[in-house]
Structure 1
Amino acid sequence: MSETFDSIVIGAGQAGPAMAARLAATGERVALIERDQMGGTCVNTGCTPTKTLVASAHAAWLAREGARYGVLTGPVSVDAARVRARKDAVVLAARGNVTRWMENTAGITVIRGHARFTGPHTVAIDDRQLTAARIFVNVGARATVPPVPGIDTIPYLTNADVMDLDVVPDHLIILGGSYISLEFAQIFRRFGAEVTILEAAPKFLGREDADIAAQIHEILTGEGIRIEVGITDLSFAPADHGITARFRTAAGDDVALTGSHLLVATGRLPNTDDLGLEAAGLSADPRGAIPVNDTCRSAQPHIWVLGEANGRGAFTHTAYNDFEIVAGNLLDGEDRKISDRKPVYALFIDPPLGRIGMSEAEASAAGHRVLVGTRAMARVSRAVEVGETRGMMKVVFDAETRQLLGAAIIGFHGDEAVQFLLPALYQRLTDHDIRSMTGIHPTVTELLPYAIADAKEV
């Protein structure tokens, strides 16, 4: 016998609980299904735990740098078990908040288990059958492991389990030069590990402009992280007390590198392969994503797909914005679209990168004549005062309309400071509009108008 609900929400990541709560607030009976942990990737294996590790790593780095500030600390060591315990406590608190919210919200029935479609309007969880007029899919993604020769013969870690280490690796080899890998590289280097990054792509951080990527490369290698890009002929094999990676460098040298641990950080795959999509009249694209239109609707108009599973965004904030789009259109009479969303993201190394809108390369490729302004963080008073002058800020404008196209700040509080320009991006403000603003001294954002004033056509 089937249980009937007004709506079914599959997955309790960033979009799912918010969607369930909004629907329940209208008087709907909502089933929220989660097969693992409430809160999804962000709370359990993504933003929340990684940023606690970034904070611990920063504390270790700052303690070692204390002499620069006239603070003498003596030898610095890291207790990996205590670092993990702090991380676990923060995660448990965040997960508990989501769980209590869902379990105590009137109109929501929380069901634990793996959901599979058995029809366009029906879902099975073990021996339970649920039916609803509307279904919302928020199943997230997981780490992928590429078919590198020998990788099946060795133990390896992914972003989900590397944070459960109770020891600092002697030598952490990281496969992949992604944003995730760079965060972990700096974390474990600051904990005291030797770290090597192996990346097959010919360029380091090819998504970023060359000058921004060079700043990030300099920060990481300056802390002792080895970065090999353009590698070929990679293979792995067991070694005494660890693993051995064999590869050919971009310069053509054959290298055998032995490490104590291997972290695989080569991408993510949407969790759509075991949802029974065919029964719902749906299919995934070659990347594993369920295609949606500009309002997150799938080919079945009563099924919406939010977050990583729709392939239209890979961040917590884009997943939550998917919820805002769907809820706004469905419940508030709005006309919101994914295409209205501006690209915004951060790389949470220390100091961090914050990016909004287009890069210089993207703007040029889109046909814009561009104005580009830059400012070294060494010329920012606040950065000098706190002793963190690594990095730069960069702004990109259209040379004809003078409207802002994008910006990047790699440096002290760059992830926060760059968002000063978000309203300008959405409101299509010109360089003159932004330069007329007066910021607080001494801050990072007060220097953005000066970088803008120096913008020149390239």
Structure 2
Amino acid sequence: MADILTPDLCVIGAGSGGLAVAQAARAYGASVVLVEKARLGGNALHAGAIPARALVAAAAHAQALRDGAAFGISADEPKINFRKVHDHVEQVITALAPQNAAGRLEALGVEIVRGAARFINRKALSVGDTEIRARRFVIATGARLPVPSIPGLDAVPYFTSETILDNTRKLTHLVVIGGGAVALELAQAYARLGTEVTVIENGPLLAGFDPELAGVALKRVAEEGVTLRPHATVTAIQARSMGIGVAVQNGEADQLLDASHILVAAERMPNLSGLDLEKAGIRMNKADPRLLLLSPGLKTSNPRVYAVGDAAGGQSVQAAVRQAEVIVRSAILGTMAKPDTLRVPRVVSTDPELAEIGLNEALARTRHGVGFRVTRWSYADNDRARTSRATYGLAKLITDRSGKILGAGVVGPGASELVALFSFAMTGGLRADKLAELVAPYPSYAEIAVRLGEEFRRGEIAKPLIRQWINLNKLLG
């Protein structure tokens, strides 16, 4: 006889989004069943953000040795031991794994059921011999990596952005198919670790980010030896006895590249296969059949079922965590809310780092026409950047006419930390001129936020009405 569980909430998937939902629900006292068929922690811990950042950190140390001469420190070209680089990545994962361990979750009161979940009707799902009839369900099944339809690709071995993190050997020439954040992060990391790298993307690189800021990051990546081929298409892959042939078309020109390895780093898509969604009355989005049809509050067409994180079309851990709180408040407390996607930072861990929050210049122009203002500050005018020879960067603040902060973007050292300051200011409803009152350590990159506030204030003072008010005060004084 099958076991029957009747929790308040059933979460399908124990990645970042699923774990955030489960823990938030337990904080409200709800009973929670968490279903997972693989490893707790999901891709972010085992094959995504964490191991990728660990690899980027190792590559940064190699690059630091090359850049030492400018500081009066001479060093030979670094000797890379890929086995030990891989060991470093594994050690990071091992150190973080206990945060997602079954024992910790069970101590919080989360019941874990191992296996693949399938909906059997609108109100229940099964996991092996267990049937779960929850009051509410959350799909947190993460994303999968689609394989592009390139003739010949299936005839050669290739890496994905997940499997390459298991590599323990030096690569001769890595051809990266894809031009998003993960593709560029891995491309620069491997170049710094001594590999020839070519990046091919059939559109612009780092699409969706501010082109001015993205251009700064891409210029540095190219200067370090990565060959960037935007608006180019891989038309065929040729298996050879030695190496791999990669046919590339750029406009009317054709070229055949000699590669040793291929990395497929296309944009991830929701992993929804095997759930039998139709049995639960869950429909897909007509505009994009790969995505679930979701309400602004992340409900599916079955009001008992929500989606979070990659399963909801998201692309970041921080977005999933923000969504989790909204879902739990709706599912457990019955409150009506929707996640504010613009308040979630977007980060590319290249060097220099690129981070944005809120509206960038293009989005501001679409939404506000000419009713917005852009304030800039260069890293070259920051004393901390000068001391570190890290003047390769720019910060932009986007405001409306009243000074309300609509968004910010930074490319340079500590960009993600600086964007956190702008996130706090936006959440608190601070006007741009209030940034000038921040007392930042000296010298520090945080001073860039202060300078942006001062620069915005100078622009306000130049307005005719403000100048008239100042002149009036002079007369009265």
Q: Do they fold alike, i.e. is TM over 0.5? A: yes
1:74 corresponds in structure 2 to: 76
Give the 3 Å change call, closer, same or farther, for CA 318–438 of structure 1 in structure 2.
same
Q: Distance in 2 between matches of 1:442 and 1:180?
A: 32
2:240 corresponds in structure 1 to: 239
2:214 corresponds in structure 1 to: 213
Q: Is 2:43 aligned against 1:3?
A: no
Give the 3 Å change call, closer, same or farther, for CA 46–233 of structure 1 in structure 2.
closer
2:171 to 169, 180, 184: 169
1:17 corresponds in structure 2 to: 19
Q: Distance in 2 between matches of 1:170 and 1:226?
A: 14
Residue pairs, 1:252-401, within 5 angstroms: 252-285=252-285, 286-311=288-313, 313-331=314-332, 335-339=336-340, 342-368=343-369, 369-398=371-400, 400-401=401-402
Larger radius of gyration: 2
Quick check: 2:342–2:357 contact (8 Å CA) kept in 1? no
Q: Partner of 2:368: helix, strand, or coil? A: coil
Give the 3 Å change call, closer, same or farther, for CA 372–110 of structure 1 in structure 2.
same
Q: Partner of 2:350: helix, strand, or coil? A: coil
Q: Structure 1 stretches of 5 or more lacking a match?
A: none
2:415 corresponds in structure 1 to: 414
C-alpha deviation, 1:443, in angstroms: 1.0
2:464 corresponds in structure 1 to: none
Q: Distance in 2 between matches of 1:430 and 1:108?
A: 42
Residue pairs, 1:156-235, within 5 angstroms: 156-201=158-203, 203-232=204-233, 234-235=235-236
Quick check: 2:3–2:129 contact (8 Å CA) kept in 1? no
Give the 3 Å change call, closer, same or farther, for CA 280–332 of structure 1 in structure 2.
closer
Q: What amino acid maps onto 2:68 in structure 1?
A: G
Please identify, of 222-231 and 91-100, the stretch whose mean Cα deviation from structure 2 is larger. Answer: 91-100
Q: Distance in 2 between matches of 1:280 and 1:2?
A: 20
Q: Distance in 2 between matches of 1:28 and 1:359?
A: 39
Q: Distance in 2 between matches of 1:221 and 1:26?
A: 49
Q: Partner of 1:299: helix, strand, or coil? A: coil
Q: Partner of 2:182: helix, strand, or coil? A: helix
Give the 3 Å change call, closer, same or farther, for CA 335–130 of structure 1 in structure 2.
closer
Q: What amino acid maps onto 1:421 in structure 2?
A: F
Please identify, of 34-43 and 235-244, the stretch whose mean Cα deviation from structure 2 is larger. Answer: 235-244
C-alpha deviation, 1:111, in angstroms: 1.7
Q: Is 2:107 aligned against 1:105?
A: yes
Q: What amino acid maps onto 1:277 in structure 2?
A: L
Please identify, of 148-157 and 14-23, the stretch whose mean Cα deviation from structure 2 is larger. Answer: 14-23
Quick check: 1:199–1:229 contact (8 Å CA) kept in 2? yes
Q: Distance in 2 between matches of 1:183 and 1:233?
A: 20
C-alpha deviation, 1:24, in angstroms: 4.1
C-alpha deviation, 1:27, in angstroms: 5.3
Q: Partner of 1:429: helix, strand, or coil? A: coil
Q: Distance in 2 between matches of 1:283 and 1:167?
A: 44
C-alpha deviation, 1:233, in angstroms: 6.0
Quick check: 1:2–1:131 contact (8 Å CA) kept in 2? no
Please identify, of 166-175 and 330-339, the stretch whose mean Cα deviation from structure 2 is larger. Answer: 330-339
* CA displacement 1:358-392 (0-9 Å, x = unmatched): 11111001124221122221221111111222121
Q: Distance in 1 between matches of 2:341 and 2:57?
A: 33
Q: Structure 2 stretches of 5 or more lacking a match?
A: 461-477
Give the 3 Å change call, closer, same or farther, for CA 451–19 of structure 1 in structure 2.
closer
C-alpha deviation, 1:353, in angstroms: 0.8
Q: Distance in 2 between matches of 1:101 and 1:436?
A: 46
2:87 to 85, 88, 93: 85
C-alpha deviation, 1:417, in angstroms: 1.2
* CA displacement 1:388-427 (0-9 Å, x = unmatched): 22121111111x2221111111001111112211122233
Q: Is 2:443 aligned against 1:442?
A: yes
Aligned residue pairs total 453
Q: Distance in 2 between matches of 1:102 and 1:224?
A: 45
Q: Distance in 2 between matches of 1:133 and 1:355?
A: 38
Quick check: 2:180–2:205 contact (8 Å CA) kept in 1? no
* CA displacement 1:292-349 (0-9 Å, x = unmatched): 22322222222121111112x2110111111111223444675542147524211001
C-alpha deviation, 1:2, in angstroms: 4.2
2:127 corresponds in structure 1 to: 125
Residue pairs, 1:29-48, within 5 angstroms: 29-48=31-50
Q: Distance in 2 between matches of 1:414 and 1:277?
A: 40
Q: Partner of 1:19: helix, strand, or coil? A: helix
Please identify, of 222-231 and 335-344, the stretch whose mean Cα deviation from structure 2 is larger. Answer: 335-344
Quick check: 2:342–2:358 contact (8 Å CA) kept in 1? no
* CA displacement 1:113-135 (0-9 Å, x = unmatched): 11111111221223333222221
Q: Distance in 2 between matches of 1:106 and 1:70?
A: 53
* CA displacement 1:258-314 (0-9 Å, x = unmatched): 111100111111111221101111122235222222322222222121111112x21
Please identify, of 406-415 and 331-340, the stretch whose mean Cα deviation from structure 2 is larger. Answer: 331-340
Q: Partner of 2:392: helix, strand, or coil? A: coil
Quick check: 2:30–2:332 contact (8 Å CA) kept in 1? no
Report the TM-score when normalising by structure 2: 0.89
Instruction: Supply the RMSD in Å over aligned alpha carbons.
Output: 2.1
Quick check: 1:14–1:316 contact (8 Å CA) kept in 2? yes
Q: Partner of 1:167: helix, strand, or coil? A: coil
Q: Distance in 1 between matches of 2:269 and 2:207?
A: 20
Q: What amino acid maps onto 1:9 in structure 2?
A: V
In the TM superposition, structure 1's runs of 4+ consecutive aligned residues that sit over 6 Å from their partners are none
The structure where helix makes up a greater share of residues is 2
Q: Distance in 1 between matches of 2:122 and 2:199?
A: 45
